[in-house]
């Protein structure tokens, strides 16, 4: 099942400060649309609104739908969207593998353990599987958080600066891995970044002004 993500007429106000006005765009299955803009221009806030996690300090209007199903007003857990925040945290008391398995519905954890282990092997992180998050580098945590979000098999994924903690060579290979995973899963994705190198080839870009 492949679903298009559509945002229409989105306006967000933070007190007297307008973050975006009448923003409309759609993201096709397998597509990664990039949002760029100065710090504080509202990129993370837009992702929060789409996922259903926008706090009460903001006033927002607009519609979001996934595969024609209107999501506006639905709670975060009913939207089928995975969001990876910039400072996403792994559970400190669980090992890396346990963190990955926790993303899965309780009934699927045993059967999909092999898949989670394979994900770690694909990332070249197999030797970390029994470590706790405090024994990982920032870049290792970032990669594991992202794979945890994708393992839950969402219908769409929102990524807030997922590559910012990686050095240049690692960033390049992990970026390619993530884009390939999104293509294979056939889901729409939105990527927030400050780095133009992160924009996928032929990818669409939305630029926010301050």
Ligand X SMILES: Nc1ncnc2c1ncn2[C@@H]1O[C@H](COP(=O)(O)OP(=O)(O)OP(=O)(O)O)[C@@H](O)[C@H]1O
Binding site for ligand X (CB under 6 A): 14, 19, 37, 39-45, 55, 57
As measured in angstroms, the least distance from the Cβ of 12 to ligand X is 9
Closer of 55 and 75 to ligand X (Cβ): 55
Closer of 4 and 88 to ligand X (Cβ): 88
Report in angstroms the alpha-carbon separations of 71 from 20, 79, 147.
Answer: 19, 6, 24
As measured in angstroms, the least distance from the Cβ of 34 to ligand X is 13
- Give the whole-angstrom CA distance, residue 26 versus residue 9: 11
As measured in angstroms, the least distance from the Cβ of 42 to ligand X is 4
Closer of 87 and 180 to ligand X (Cβ): 87
User: Which letter does DSSP use for residue 58 in this model?
Assistant: E
- Give the whole-angstrom CA distance, residue 25 versus residue 7: 5
Please say whether the beta carbons of 163 and 171 come within 8 A. yes
Within 10 angstroms of residue 108's Cβ, the number of other Cβ atoms is 15
As measured in angstroms, the least distance from the Cβ of 39 to ligand X is 3
As measured in angstroms, the least distance from the Cβ of 206 to ligand X is 12
CA angle centred on 7, ends 45 and 5, rounded to 5°: 105
Closer of 40 and 124 to ligand X (Cβ): 40
Closer of 59 and 110 to ligand X (Cβ): 59
Do you know the residue count of the chain?
210
Q: Answer positive or negative: Cα dihedral of 167, 89, 31, 116.
A: positive
């Amino acid at each position: 099942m492949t679903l298009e993500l559509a945002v229409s007429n989105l306006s967000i106000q933070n007190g007297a400060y307008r973050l975006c006005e009448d923003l409309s765009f759609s993201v096709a299955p397998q597509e990664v649309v990039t949002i760029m803009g100065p710090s504080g221009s509202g990129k993370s806030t837009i992702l929060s609104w789409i996922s259903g996690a926008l706090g009460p300090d903001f006033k927002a209007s607009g519609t979001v739908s996934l595969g024609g199903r209107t999501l506006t007003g639905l709670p975060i857990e009913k939207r089928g969207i995975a969001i990876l925040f910039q400072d996403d945290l792994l559970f400190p008391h669980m090992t890396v593998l346990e963190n990955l398995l926790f993303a899965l519905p309780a009934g699927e954890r045993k059967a999909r353990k092999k898949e989670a282990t394979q994900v770690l092997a694909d990332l070249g992180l197999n030797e970390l599987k029994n470590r706790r998050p405090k024994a990982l580098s920032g870049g290792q945590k970032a990669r594991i958080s992202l794979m945890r979000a994708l393992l839950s098999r969402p219908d769409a994924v929102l990524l807030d600066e997922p590559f910012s903690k990686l050095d240049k060579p690692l960033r390049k290979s992990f970026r390619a891995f993530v884009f390939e995973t999104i293509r294979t899963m056939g889901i729409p994705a939105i990527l927030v970044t400050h780095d133009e190198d992160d924009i996928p080839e032929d990818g669409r870009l939305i630029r926010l002004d301050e």
